[in-house]
Structures are given as C-alpha cells and as structure tokens.
Amino acid sequence: MKRKIMMMIMSTGATPKAFSSSLSSSQLLQQSQVGSFTSNGTENTCNNHNRSHYYYVNRRSRLQRGRIASVNQRSETSQIINKQDRKGTSSTFEIETLTTWLLNQERQGNIDNELTIVLSSISLACKQISSLLQRATLSNLTGSQGFINIQGEDQRKLDFIANQVFCNCLRSTGRTGIIASEEEDVPIAIEETYSGNYTVVFDPIDGSSNIDTGLTTGSIFGIYSPGDQEPCIVDYDDEDDSTDPALVDDLKLGKQEQKCVVSACQPGSNLLAAGYCMYSTMVVFVLSIGKGVYSFTLDPMYGEFVLTQKNIQIPKSGKIYSFNEANYQLWDDKLKKYIDDIKDTGKKQYSGRYIGCFVGEIHRMLLCGGIYGNPGNIKRKEGNLRLLYECAPMSYLVEQAGGKASDGHRRILDIKPDEIHQRAPIFIGSPEEMDKLEKYLSSSI
C-alpha cells in the first residue's frame, strides 16, 4: 500500500502538502493522533517517540537531580559528623587496641616502658586462660586437681594451670621481680629479671567453682613498684635462716623469703596499676594505671583486646545488692538490719544479684551501680576474700571509677597486710550506697 502511494505521488508530481490536503477529515484526525507522513508518504512515528523519550529523559533527570541532592545532603551530614568526631570521639572505623593504648600512655608519660611490658604479658596470660576455659570440657580440664591449696581449698585443675600460665608470662618479661599468687604458699622471686623488678600479685582464676557449669570466672591482678628494696633472691638450701611467725603465719621461711614477703605485703594505696579480666559471654580486660578505668574487649577475629569503654564512672547509687544471704544468720545484727531495710518495699526497690565470682560482681557494679559485700561472720570474722590480691586491686579500680571500698570501718587501700594470704571483710560499691551501709555499721542498735 505504501509503495502504491509513493508511486502515485511520483507520477502525479503531487507535493506532500497537496497529498495531505487531499486526505479526509477522519484521516487527518488519525494522522494527528497516530503520527504524520513523511515526504515519501510513510507515517512518521519518531515525533511521538521523541516526545515520549523527551518526557522520560526529563523525568529521569529530575530523579537523578533528586538523588544527587539527597547524596549531597548525606555528604554534608557526614561532613558534620566527621567534624564532630574530630572534635570529640574518634572515627567509627578506628579501633584502639590495648597495645596501642599502652604505647600512647607511655608516650604521654603516664607509665614507663617497663610497666608497659608487664601489662602486655598479663593480657597475654588472660588470652591463654580464656582459650583454656573455652575448651575446658573438651580437654578434660574440669574438676578437682586432687589436693588442697594453701587456702585450705580444693584446688581445681584450671587453678593450677592458670597459675602456671601467669607465672610463665610474667617470668618471660624479665621485668618482674616478685610474684605473689593465691595458689602459691610464698612469694616467688624471679631470678631472670634484669630490669623493672616489679612486684605482681594475682588471683589466676577467681570463681573457679563456676568453671564446670560454664558460668562467669575471672583473673585479678595488682602491680607494685619495686621501690628501693634489694631483690629477694631465695636460697632454698639455706637451713640456718630464722623464721618470723608474725610475718609468715607459721610458715618456716628463711631471711630471704621473709624479705620477699615484706616486699609483697604493701597497702593497696601503693599500687601502680590494677585490673581484672572477666571470662563470660565476652572476654573483658579492665585496667587502671591511676588515670581512670578503661575497658577492653577481646575481638576473636583479631585476637586483640580493643578499647570499648573510656574513663568508666560508677553510678553514684544503684538498686542492686550482692551478698551471699545464705550466711545471713551468721552476720552482725547491724548488717542484718541493713539488709532487712533495703529489702523492705519502699520508694527504692532493690534487687538481689549474686554470681559467686568477685570479678563478675564488680564488673556489673561498675556499669550499673549498687553494692557488694563479703562480710566477716561468726565462723570467720576476717571474711573470705584475700586482701593482697583480691580486695586491694578491686578497691583500687572502684575508687578510680568514683566508688568506695572499706571493711565497714576502714578504707581497704589503707590496710597493710601482715602476710600474703591475709583475708579481709569487704564492702564495695557506689558512694551513696556505701555511705548508707557505713551509717548502719557505725550505729548503736
């Protein structure tokens, strides 16, 4: 048909205009709706196509302009956030490991390189212990070791192994002079030391009775300055040295061993650094070098402790109390009244929480506030926890975070131990809760 129309135009010499004028009104209407004819008589649909393409392009351009504007707004917002980050906190993508943090503290003059090495070795010991705990059931490391330790407690397998891990890590630094552990009868003098000569006290596994059930456990440590004291190199073959029962608690030690005991038995106020590592759903290393409290979480992907909380401040008060109320009938009447009153429903409703692990109790209290107590009782007036390597390091941490710690009457950090394994009652927590407790304990009923 198109070919016939084209031949007709060519034979008659009609122009497109003439041809167009010869169309009927219905054909003209159809032309206006469908398209126009070219000079050769073909229908031109390009105008409609171009027109629709024009609208499509314009619409797409408007959408693109909207997207560009949105991107620009996000870019401006991110620039503002980045400026705020630069003013205040670090970028979201930046991480600071414990090693980096220690080096920064050394650079700022807060610690020396010797202490940096000792703290790094302790963090390494904690990583090893964490790995052992995770595989305890698989590696047959649960249960009892089969003998009683110096505390009169049934020593568990991981108590013994964790103690060896700590000792080996500290010995390898060459910066540790004396080690005092809950699992050792007497302090250990490190002959391999060639500088630093720090005294390190620690409880390798706190809450070891929780191991078999997979509950929270931890490690506690404190570091003392060597001071001007001579190193106490122990000669175990010396049979002529006398003993000092007041210092060594009926242990027959020589003069050099007594010197080690004296070097280790320092009040908590002399601590250079203290901290703990909590082994739970996450592994957390909490540390203070006398400049606030910092928390590092073990990232299993990198195998590094990463800074997650800066300058932790304990809430001034809290609603959680942590006491082993199974011993209630053995407590002093003043303490009983305190417990009865906080359990009474009033304006402030307290909640009781007790994990059975000193590290776990303190970690929760640092974040949530409240009070923890391990008091003396009729059967054991001195309490259960050891002053040197449990009470003192934790009290140091809590005070650095703005809390308080006492035996009910005296500040824990002011008490100088007479022997390595001396126990002490302890109350520790938010300042307002501690003030409230001490009023009860100092009152006359």
Strand partners, 351: 320
Tokens 């809950």: give the residue: 182
Token couple for 127? 């990583």
Look up tokens 């703990």; give the residue. Answer: 276
Residue 61 — very low, low, confident or very high, per pLDDT cuts 50/70/90? low
Summarised one tens digit per residue, pLDDT across range 252-308 is 455 556 667 777 899 999 999 999 999 999 999 999 999 999 999 999 998 999 999
* SS3 letters across 103-131: HHHHHCCCCCHHHHHHHHHHHHHHHHHHH
What confidence score (pLDDT) does residue 46 get? 43
Report angle CA 147, 206, 117 to the nearest 5 degrees: 110
What is the residue type of 242? S
Is 180's pLDDT higher than 80? Answer: yes
Q: Per residue in 85-123, pLDDT tens? A: 444 444 556 889 999 999 999 999 999 999 999 999 999
CA 145 to chain centre: 30
Contact 179, 200 (CB under 8 A): yes
Parallel/antiparallel/unpaired status of strands 304-309 and 293-299: antiparallel
pLDDT surpassing 90 at residue 429: yes
Spatial distance between the Cα atoms of 221 and 413, rounded to a whole number of angstroms: 15
DSSP string spanning 161-185?
Answer: HHHHHHHHHHHHHS-EEEEEETTSS
- Residues 312, 295 contacting (CB under 8 angstroms): yes
Whole-Å CA distances, 393 to 13, 59, 185, 381, 387: 111, 69, 20, 21, 9
Report residue 395 as tokens: 């009290």
One-letter amino acid at 168 equals N
* E strand map for 375-424: 404-406
pLDDT at 401 over 70: yes
Q: Which of 37-41, 114-118, 168-172, 365-369 has the lowest mean pLDDT?
A: 37-41
* 201-210 average pLDDT score: 95
CA distance 253 to 259: 10
What pLDDT shows up at residue 372?
98
